[in-house]
Structure 1
Amino acid sequence: MPRDLTLDAYRRLTESGRVAWDIETNGLEPAEAMIGTCQLHSPGIGTFIVTGVAGKVPPLLARLLVDTRVVKVFHHAPFDLSFMAHAWGVEPRNVACTKIAAKILSPGEMAEKYSLKYLMARYFGIFLDKRVRFTDWTADSLSDEQLEYAVGDVIRLLDLYDILSGKLQEQGLDDLYSECRKFLPAHVRLRLRGCADPFKY
């Protein structure tokens, strides 16, 4: 598998205008752990799994992350973006997060109600198997179980984004969500500085 997108994949994903994106890491702290795998999906284009990026800067992935023409949809974007901003030295642009959307729609729920596993089961009847989550994602070659897991995290993410976006609009919350999206790059810088929530008392 390539250590970056191919030029053709980059071009096609850019032209699509929106991409579901997820990463796998070997830890939870951007300054201490590394990105092992990136998986991206766009309907009609396909799913791309990029391995071997640990300790490296993949130029085309980094360029896609900052491209304002393309909406990049994540689940729990602050986590993923913090790793990529730290490792690649770039500031993400035009990003969205389905977890933030779910929290705005239903504040005060138990944490698991905002998980991708719960939301995929609720809206699509898809039950994600998370047992391989803590396996070695820095390997150049992934197992069939890892590949299935990686694809499962992005294959319906844009559909989820569309559903949640529709609900936000119905409830008059789309402007609030838009402001949260705009704040994400600043939130990432704050998190990397060790001050993720400067508004907290």
Structure 2
Amino acid sequence: MGETLFTQGAMIRLHKHDLPDGLDFGASVAIDTETMGLDPRRDRLCLVQLSAGDGTAHCVQIIPPALGGRGSDCPNLKRLLADPAVLKIFHFARFDVAMLHHALDVTVAPVVCTKIASKLVRTYTDRHGLKDLLKDLLGVEISKQQQSSDWGAPDLTPEQLAYAASDVLHLHALWAKLKALLQREGRLDLAEACYAFLPTRGRLDLLGYEDPDLFAH
């Protein structure tokens, strides 16, 4: 199952190249990525972290062939990302969906995004980052200290893995809170329409339609 790390009551499993055979995340999986930068067309995908919301995070290190890895040869991971029966929960899905499409040639669907949900129902604040949402809605504090570290390193530190895991361990609970708010405010159908469009929005970003925005005047 790969290297195992225990931190702050959570279990983190590091897998090189792909998820192990037979791993079942159930009906929904929280997903995040770590990359060498914020341009999916330029910057390398380094890590994909996933959780079933059960206190365990699985981190898949994507290593290019030039560095002795398998690159996009990760069939188990790609099968899960494209599985229409498994809901994928992201925070800022627009970036992750585009990155996964570019790096692994897979269309990730169906998806929900906690950042979009927050912007639709928490219009009384501009605090829509994951750190703020977890603190405001769940009372959970996470550190962003490792956010700008070198994710392309061949060996990731325990601190990096703990940071990466923290981005997915609480997404199920966060989505449950935000989904209830969307239902309360009558905006769940609007959110679902946005989510259905996200794979296309990611493809537009990859084609350079981020700026100018295709939908601008």
Question: TM-score of the superposition, structure 2-length normalised?
Answer: 0.85
| 2:173 equivalent in structure 1 | 159
Match of 1:41 among 51, 59, 64: 51
Change (3 A) 1:171 1:6: same
Q: Which residue of 1 aligns with 2:7?
A: none
> In proportion to residue count, which structure has more strand?
2
Q: 3-state DSSP class of the match of 2:18?
A: coil
For residues 138-157 of structure 1, the aligned pairs below 5 Å read 138-157=152-171
2:103 alignment partner, one of 87, 104, 113: 87
Tell me, in whole angstroms, the C-alpha distance in 2 between the residues paired with 1:115 and 1:50: 24
Q: 1:79 to 1:155 in 2, by over 3 A?
A: same
Q: Which residue of structure 2 lines up, in the alignment, with residue 72 of structure 1?
A: 88
Give the AA of the match of 2:171: L
Kindly indicate whether the alpha-carbon contact (under 8 Å) linking 1:54 and 1:138 is maintained by their aligned counterparts in 2.
no
Q: Which among 77, 94, 100 is matched to residue 116 of structure 2? A: 100
Equivalent pair of 2:53/2:171 in contact (CA under 8 Å): no
Greater displacement, 171-180 / 124-133: 124-133
Percent same amino acid among aligned pairs?
A: 36
Q: How many residues align?
A: 195
Matched, 1:24 2:40: no
> In the superposition, relative to structure 1, how do residues 109 and 193 fare at CA in structure 2: closer, same or farther (>3 Å)?
farther
Length-normalised TM-score, structure 1: 0.91
**What is the identity, as a one-letter code, of the residue corresponding to 1:125?**
G
How far, CA to CA, are the matches of 1:99 and 1:75 in structure 2? Answer: 5
**What is the match of residue 122 of structure 1?**
136
Matched to 1:124, the amino acid is L
| Distance in 1 separating the partners of 2:19 and 2:152 | 17
Q: Deviations over 1:84-112 (max 9, x none)?
A: 101111212101100000011124743xx
| Partner Cα separation in structure 1 for residue 146 and residue 76 of structure 2 | 27
Specify which structure has the higher proportion of helix: 1
Deviations 1:154-189 (A, max 9, x none): 111110001000110011111101100111111111
Mapped to 1, the partners of 2:160 and 2:135 lie a distance apart of 20
Residue among 176, 188, 200 paired with 1:186 = 200
5+ residue gaps, structure 2: 1-14, 66-70
Deviation of 1:4 after TM superposition, in Å, equals: 0.6
Pairwise CA RMSD of aligned residues?
A: 1.6
AA of the residue aligned to 2:104: W
Cα distance in 1 between the residues matched to 2:207 and 2:125: 29
Task: For residue 198 of structure 1, report the CA deviation from its aligned partner.
Answer: 1.3
